[in-house]
Amino acid sequence: MAQSNKPDLLIIEDDKGLQKQLKWSFDQYNVILAEDRDSALVELRRYQPQVITLDLGLPPDPANASVGLELLEEVLSLSPTSKVIVVTGNDQREIAMQAVNAGAYDYYQKPIQPEELTLIIKRAFELAKLEDENRRHFLQQKESFHGIIATSPEMMAVCQKIEKVAPTDVSVLLLGDSGTGKELLARAVHDISPRRSKSMVAINCAAIPDNLLESELFGYEAGAFTGANKTTIGKIEYANGGTLFLDEIGDMPMALQAKLLRFLQERVVERVGGRESILVDVRIVAATHQSLEDLVNEGKFREDLYYRLSEVVLEIPALAKRNGDVVLIARALLEKFNRQYSRNIRGFSKDAVQAMEAYAWPGNVRELENKIKSAVVMSDSNQITAKDLQIDEAQLREMPLNLRQVREAAETRAIQRAIVLSDGNISQAAKLLGLTRPTLYSLMDKYSISS
């Protein structure tokens, strides 16, 4: 576990005496020690340090620098953003240059002077921080569509449709389970539209009692009913010139559906207790987790209103069907809650990633957000585990038995994870997967995966 908020520094060195000296000299960092390849890779996966010092003379053959160079290659393949400072003997300048050409950040020749090495390490941390900030900014620009984080083909298709429909004035109906982000998508429709300078007003039709919903939507005149002491503008009027978002429209009572239909046809409202017709220019975006077609067939929803609301229908996929998005969203939420609660949790353990990908997420993104928030608050480690997420094996989905289906699903997930881990760098993703770039491009094309 990281000591307070000190940055992690991994020192790969087999000399016990030098280990103690360096740990004492670099007390401003959380120093993690490793003495050989196996322990180095374990600590690397555990801490994902931004900066690493690597002595090229490691067991089993300290005289052979190729052992250290091979480890350098493994380290960079597992953690391509880490800054590796190789430590060499006086007569190994050529080897040091090979290491730099292989991707090492810098090299330092023995004997070690802690003051000099401290300066190199400090610069490495500063560069790593700057690159990390730039990378986060780039990812936000690339992967965030007006607050919607997605790389899956399923969700990207929805975002593309929103881009097409937003500049128009057609009514949009968003269909999706609870927690899939319907209001966020409605906000995206508004933000891209010519109405973005005006207000977007949201109202949840299921959260307001039937006898109050009409006055909330249409407003009321003073004296219209007991307690109506002054004239009050309704949500529809507030949204004039902008967008009105009607969430859970399937729960609107039948009597009010007729009045809403009249407004959609004539674009005028009458306040409760009033006689004046007020012209209102508003764009309607509605959403529901129910099947409106089924409600129409059951006589619980007006067919004419359904057709008015569903000029364009967008179906939002459940989180479990958004291949590759779960971990991406989880990372963004981890960053958010780290800032909110002043924590320094570095990432997710291997079992947490596997659990998130195999869990069904019945509560969708809202459930994921709640689990990440709880884990950030309660975790005692620098990594979130499956236990922290309160996901156990009994809750995980069974994999299909069809071998081809299993292979294709596994390859798709592996490719998407590699692309995410390498920040969209296809060459690096190919290295992580042990493939050539042409082979990876071929598989991406086969599975319709975007970089």
| Class level of CATH domain 321-446 | mainly alpha
CA 284 to CA 192: how far, in whole Å?
14
- pLDDT at 2 (0 to 100): 44
Q: Which fold has domain 8-141?
A: Rossmann fold (3.40.50)
Q: What is the pLDDT of residues 304-343, one digit of tens each?
A: 999 999 999 999 999 998 887 898 899 989 999 999 999 9
Check pLDDT > 50 for residue 401: no
Q: Is the pLDDT of residue 399 over 60?
A: no
The answer to whether the beta carbons of residues 405 and 392 sit under 8 Å apart is no
Query: Which of the residue ranges 124-128, 191-195, 327-331 has the most confident prediction, judged by mean pLDDT?
Result: 191-195
Q: What is the pLDDT of residues 218-245, one digit of tens each?
A: 999 988 888 888 889 999 999 999 999 9
Fold match between 8-141 and 148-317? yes
Out of 22-36, 267-281, 393-407, pick the least confident: 393-407
**pLDDT of amino acid 300:** 95
> Which spans in 14-86 are helix H?
16-25, 37-47, 66-78
Structure confidence at residue 3 (pLDDT): 45
Sheet with 200-204, edge to edge strand ranges? 200-204, 243-247, 283-288, 172-175, 312-315
Give me the pLDDT at residue 434, please. Answer: 82
Q: What is the pLDDT of residue 37?
A: 87
Question: What confidence tens digit (pLDDT) does each residue in 198-213 have?
Answer: 999 999 999 999 889 9
What mean pLDDT is predicted for residues 140-154?
Answer: 71
- Rounded to two decimals, what is the model's pTM? 0.61
| DSSP bridge partners of 54 | 12, 86
Angle between the N-to-C axes of helices 66-78 and 93-101, in degrees from 0 to 180, rounded to the nearest 10 = 20
Tell me, what's the pLDDT at 191? Answer: 94
> Domain 148-317, CATH 3.40.50.300 — does that match?
yes
Reported as a pLDDT band with limits 50, 70 and 90, residue 404 is low
Higher pLDDT pick, 247 / 143: 247
Q: Do 262 and 215 meet the contact criterion of CB atoms below 8 Å apart?
A: no
Listed by start position, the domains of the chain span 8-141, 148-317, 321-446
Work out the pLDDT band at 128, boundaries 50, 70, 90. Answer: confident
